[in-house]
Amino acid sequence: MGDGSLAEFIARRVELIDSAEPGTAATRALSDLTDEAVSALAEAAFASSGIRWGLLALGAYGSRRLLPFSDLDLVVIVSADPRAAREPVQALLYPLWDAGFEVGHAVRTRKEHLRACTDDTETLTATLTGRHLAGDAALTAETLTAVASLARKRRTSLLRTLGSRERTGSPYDLEPNLKEGVGGQRDIDELTWRTAVDRGEPVSQPGAEAAPGVLGDAELGDLAVAQDRISAARWALHRSARRKEAVLDIDSAETTPSGGSALHESLATVHELLLATRGELTFEDLHPAPWSTRDLTRLLARGTVMLPRLECAARRGALETLAPGIAELMTLRRPALSHRLTVGAHSLLTTALAIELPATDAIATSGRSAGDLPLALVAAALMHDAGKTLAGPGHAERGEPAAVTAALAMGAERDTASAAGVLVREHLLLAETASGSDIDDEDVVLRVAARIGDRDLLVLLYTLTAADSMATGPSTWDAWHASLVRTLVARADAALADDVDGAGMVAAAESVRGAALALAGDGAVASILRSATVRYFIGRTPAEATADARLLAGLGPRGSRTQSSLRVSLADTPGAHRVTIATYDRPGAFALLAGTIALAGLDILGATAFPGPSGTVLDTFTVTSATLAEIGPETWTTLERHLTAAVEGHLDLRVRLAERRRHYPSRSNGRARIATRTDSTFATALDVSAPDRPGLLFDIADEVARAGFEIARVNARTRQGRAHDTFHIVDAEGLAPRDPGELGHLAMRVRERLARIAENS
């Protein structure tokens, strides 16, 4: 093949890639076109060698499934010493390499290749889809037959090896790996390999032999459709990325052929048929009769291990009499922050996790035992996102009727069905309140308690909240957020208790004050405790309150070397610490402390700020490491050094944090979103969602101070590199600011500052 012919092939190839309709036909056309070029190169390279040779295409190329940036897997079979074929093999490979192809290759005798297949399962399976390309067809046929015969002889052990192959993810992943993920190309490949093993001959696609009684004509037709959709999506990914790419991200899924619900249908079909072939699902699972409530609860009692059967039943309609519409939800895509599964798969996982939760969670255990299946919880977990069949906000309210219907269909009494509806209507209440409101505000706690109205229902709602968050994604139910939700639930439970007046928070706080005074004795420490606000004692132990008062009492005069002090203790959240800092108040005091903490390599999860006597402040921060380095004594030494310098005015935080940002840039993109809420009587909430980076809280707090406001509490969350922070702010008189003009101006200032820093980063 001359340079002109190779150039012509490359031009035809580019035209085919850019113009072909993605799918099976395109992958075969590209394979056939590539065959012409590779065969011509091989025939020319070996023309004068005098060697008996044959060229095999293996793997995807052997199956005629080439994608735009697929590797070319080639094996040259020779009848004599492979070293004699060195020059012709180089003449074959170098033009392909020069043209930019990735070529996997080997030169072996038939016996050597058979030995390689004996030693390596990957080589064996690649050869099971092999085919002749050029040279001596008899030689390649002998090789393929010998390998297929070997596979047939090793059938039992080989099928066991294939059955233990690692499979990652779910066919319902919003960002599926279309090659290695569950339901993807590698699962179809396994069905093909099983067919080859049973037939004892090379094959290019699955056949009924892979699972007699499971893969009939209808199933093989479904697999052909699945192959076409998966190939189409992968082709489009390669073409748009201009490289090998297997993960269909959320943005690409909306524009990729068959990238939506149809693709999930096919991935699920492949997944289910492979499990049936392996014996992990039955014929009855693939062709289910409608389930009874007993069928559902018996399966759910076994937890997440039964999800494959539950998903199969839901998608194939077996749950429609109990949870109407669940089949449609299985492939419904509603991408949202942190969500990783389709709506239905997320709902099933939530249900299974809710059943398992009492085994590990004290609050969930308080209402029931592990394996206990309250129908209200089952119906609510299954249908909590049913309202997402319509896009847009309000899905919790829209889903309430579906939960009531499901509970009644399961045989629940009317009051149980109503409870299921309440659980769905309020399933966002605890998580959103804990992350976005001041749970030290008695009004906030009372509003939550009033909306739930029942202590038993509160436990079920907590269980649904925890399971829903865990099913959403690993960053959604982290230790910090879980601790906030549990604190809120404990306080709401007190508000609903018969023996407690109101929320009981004031009485509890005064009890803490009294115990702290007993520890302190008389003097300056006791005086500070007597003057502290009721709100300060909420969430603190008497020992903590006494230790804080001693920090304040030990401050030296303004301008002295002891005008600030700090105390470090372990937080309830694993891996987190509480840093309490006493110092003198000044404009921007909170921003100064937040910036100092960021400079010491710490992330702030939450913070509270309280006034002390004689113009002092007491700020408590819950912190974790902002880097991979563990927190140790040197961390606190560094923090103390920075704190002293900052309080004395010797530390330019803006400059130092800008330097830190260059070393630790933002982990996500996107614009900042700013909003204010005035739903609390105690403080106004400033909600900020922005790409996380060092010093973010400092920049926001600095703008709050410049606007003339003070920060009473901060709750910070970071998910997938994006910060979601809520600042509870008050004015100079300690009242919640309400003026729309002032709040709008503050939001604008914060937005502009964050945008300016992002541009300069």
CATH of the domain at 273: 1.20.120
- Domain span including residue 217: 165-287
Identify the domain boundary among 118, 153, 188.
Answer: 153
Q: How far is CA 740 from CA 161, 174, 677, 707, in A?
A: 66, 39, 10, 13
Mean pLDDT within 78-99: 94
Pair (279, 309) in one structural domain = no
Are 701 and 719 in a shared domain? yes
Return the residue matching tokens 């008899």: 138
pTM of the shown model? 0.86
Domain presence at residue 516: no
CA 218 to mean position of chain CA atoms: 35
Cα(581)–Cα(129) distance, rounded to whole angstroms? 68
Same domain for 45 and 92, yes or no, is yes
Distances in whole angstroms, Cα of residue 533 to Cα of each of 187, 235, 435, 612, 685: 63, 65, 23, 9, 20
One domain, residues 313 and 377: yes
The string of pLDDT tens digits covering residues 372-419 is 689 999 999 999 999 999 988 999 999 999 999 999 999 999 999 999
Q: Which of 598, 630, 602 is nearest to 700 (CA)?
A: 598
* Boundary of a domain, candidates 153, 185, 201: 153
> Is 635 within 8 Å of 557 (Cβ atoms)?
no
Helices (H), 22-168: 24-46, 59-62, 86-98, 110-119, 121-128, 137-153, 155-163
Q: Which of 294, 342, 299, 347 is nearest to 322 (CA)?
A: 294
Classify the C-alpha dihedral 255-256-259-262 as positive or negative: positive
Residue 341 per-residue DSSP state = B
List the strands of the sheet with 72-78, edge to edge: 103-109, 72-78, 53-57, 131-135
CATH number of residue 83's parent domain? 3.30.460.10
Which residue, 586, 552, 581, 553, is CA-closest to 642? 581
Annotate 171-234 with three-state secondary structure. Answer: CCECCCECCCECCCHHHHHHHHHHHHHHHCCCCCCCCHHHCCCCCCHHHHHHHHHHHHHHHHHH
Per-residue pLDDT reduced to its tens digit, 574-592:
889 999 999 999 888 999 9
pLDDT single digits (tens) 153-188: 999 999 999 999 989 999 999 999 999 999 999 999
- Chain segment 518-547, per-residue pLDDT in tens: 999 889 999 999 998 888 888 889 999 999
Same domain, 642 and 653: yes
Q: What percent of the chain is modeled with pLDDT above 70?
A: 96
Residues 138 and 222 in one domain: no
555 close to 658: Cβ distance less than 8 angstroms: no
Percent of the chain with pLDDT over 90: 70
If 0-12 CB within 10 Å is exposed, 13-18 middle and 19+ buried, where does residue 39 land? middle
Phi, psi of 120 (to 5 degrees): -135, 115
As beta bridge partners, residue 583 has 564, 617
Q: Identify whether the C-beta of residue 384 lies closer than 8 Å to the C-beta of residue 427.
A: yes
Whether residues 143 and 192 fall in one domain: no
**β-pairing verdict for 131-135 and 684-691:** unpaired
* Mean pLDDT taken over the chain: 91
Residue 643 in any domain: the answer is: yes
Number of domains in the chain: 4
Is residue 478, in this structure, part of any structural domain at all?
Answer: no
Task: Pull the structure tokens for residue 746.
Answer: 């503050």
At residue 668 the predicted structure's pLDDT band, cuts being 50, 70 and 90, is low
C-alpha to C-alpha distance for 474 and 491, rounded to whole angstroms: 26
Three-state secondary structure readout of 674-688: EEEECCCCCCEEEEE
Neighbouring residues of 57: CB distance < 8 A, sequence distance ≥ 6? 35, 38, 72, 73, 74, 130, 131, 133
Residue ending a domain, choose from 453, 468, 483: 468
